[in-house]
Every structure is written in C-alpha cells, then in structure tokens.
Amino acid sequence: MSIYARIAGTGSYLPELRLTNQDLVERLAKSGLETSDEWITTRSGISARHFAAENELTSDLAVKAAQAALSTAGMTSEDLDLIILATSTPDHLGGFPSTACVVQDKLGAHTACAAFDVQAVCAGFTYAMAIADAFIRTGSYKKVLVLGAETFSRILDFQDRTTCVLFGDGAGAVVLEASKEPGILSTALHADGSQRDILCVPGRSGNGQVHGSPFMTMDGQAVFKLAVKVLEQVAHEALEKAHLKPEQIDWLVPHQANIRIMEGTAKKMGMSMDKVIVTVHEHGNTSAASIPLALDVGVRSGQIQRGQHLLLEGVGGGFAWGAVALKY
C-alpha cells in the first residue's frame, strides 16, 4: 500500500513592522537614495513588506508559523518526528547550530525529533518539501514540520534600490503526515551552479572579518529571464510525473518574487491569473518563506479547499529551482 505525505496543517507569521512603499521611500530618502511608490509597484507589484524587529530572529518567526501550523493540524510539538527549515538567513553566522535545532528547542520538541536546515534560497521550500516527502514515503518519519523562514532585511543594501525595495521578512510552515490518501504527488528539483553570480551574497568571513560585500546582489534582467524559463520547465516536469495537465491544477502557488515573473509563468502554462495565489503585493519577496506564506493565505482565505490540486514552484540563487504537485 502506498504511503503519501499529506498536508495536515498550514501556518504563517509576519513581523509586526509593516512598511508601505511610501514608508520605505521616506526612509531611503534620509540616506540620499531616491525612488518612488510608482517605480517599485510598476517593476515588482509590491506595495508593502514586513521587517523583523531588532530583537527578532529567524527562529522566532519560524516558531510562530510552526505553532499556527501545529494548531491547525491538531498536533503539538511532541508529535513531530522531524523538522526541516529552509532559510538563507540563519540565526547564527556560519549556519550552525542550525536554525532548525533552535526552533526544535523553542517549540519544546523532544530529542527524538531530528532537525536540520536546507539552503536553496528562494527554492528552499520546494527542496524541503521534496526531502520530507521522501522521508515519509520510505516510512522513516510520520509527522514532519516543514518551514520556510527569512529575515532578508538584514542582508539588504539600502543604497541599492534595485534590491532593497523587493524583499521582506516572514515565515510559513506546513505539517506533513503519513497518509493512505494522496497528498504530495510529485516533486522536481534542479540546480545550475554556473549561474550562481547573478543572485548571491558575495562576501566571505575569515579571521573575524567579512571579505567582500555582506549584502545581496542581483542581476535583475538575468534572473528574470532565467526564472521564467526554468519555472515553466519544472512545472511541466512535476505535472507530468503526477500525471496531471495544467488545466487540472486548481491553484498555482508560486514563489512570490515579482508579479511579472508570476504572470509570465502563468501565461506560458496557459493558466489564468485567477488561479494563482498572489501575496507579493503585501509581503514582498520573502525568499524561502514566500511559498508557505502564500499557501497559508490561500488556505485561511478559503480559496484553497480540500481535494484541490496545487502546484508549488520556486526559483532562487544557486541557481536552484523546484516544483511540487500535490492534492491538498
């Protein structure tokens, strides 16, 4: 008998501080950087984003999203077998201890619960879901908490208006459980390290110092061109593996990077934007958190219903990209 990884609950969390485009324009003007609400909205579709407070860590955001997902699933942290956290902004320099281990402690999960981080930037949540699915299908684990959490505001160069206006902070979570009922139907993951320089944080630490820039840099045109191409390809790959056609997908839940990328992807797949969950206008690009944030918004708004087919997809630095087809 087949074992599936089925979504038992979703959750999300956004920091209290919400910055509209105008708020950000005024903040940037104080440091001599000029931009406008129209410039930001036209190029990205973003109207607002949330920034973590100075004392808020990535793990803090993740814990609140996890608690919401566990509550929805009717579970507690004691029920978990495994925690997988996708992030590019871990709590600690060097990435250890893993932020997943910090989350495990803050949630009060037992020590039999394994925990680790996944680093695939904006594609991180699709990678984490694929890993969790594999563990559940083999019978290794029965209840897995999958998280995407970021505090990208801390790696933004507020002298570069092409990047600092696009990103925000947040966290999203799903609880996956072993089920006889269909859940995750297929996954598809890819990477191309030769494209690593078009979206990256080039700095390195050594001897207590940062060598190179500690801020994110991006070649926007190159990223846009590659993103639309690979997202279409990986979407069709995941659908083919799941024996589904685009018209059978009830909701596309894409990485919320840029409204133009989402529109381009939907158009190439022959899908109406009415079938796309869009949160980029309120959240900005929250990297690995964007897909689970959008998923939770779709579920809690009543748009996403049990029994519907969903397609999750994301692309980010690395370059890495992935897709997950599932029955909710």
Q: Is 255 a catalytic residue?
A: yes
Instruction: Please report how the helices 259-268 and 220-241 are oriented relative to each other, as an axis angle in degrees rounded to 10.
Output: 40
Report the alpha-carbon angle 93-95-98, nearest 5: 130
Annotated catalytic residue within 50, 101, 113, 122: 122
Annotated catalytic residue within 50, 101, 164, 285: 285
Sheet holding 4-13, edge to edge: 4-13, 169-179, 143-151, 82-86, 114-118
Annotated catalytic residue within 50, 255, 258, 283: 255
Backbone phi, then psi, for 240, in 5-degree steps?
-65, -40
* Token digits of residue 228: 């639309």
Under a CB-based contact definition with an 8 Å cutoff, are residues 122 and 288 in contact?
A: yes
Q: Is 101 a catalytic residue?
A: no
* Token digits of residue 269: 């797949």
Radius of gyration, alpha carbons of the chain:
19
Which residues neighbour 186 within 8 Å (Cβ) at sequence distance 6 or greater?
238, 239, 241, 242, 324, 325
DSSP string, 118-147: E--GGGHHHHHHHHHHHHHHTTS-SEEEEE
Containing 186, the helix (H) or strand (E) segment is strand 184-191
Q: Is 285 a catalytic residue?
A: yes
Residues with active-site annotation: 122, 255, 285
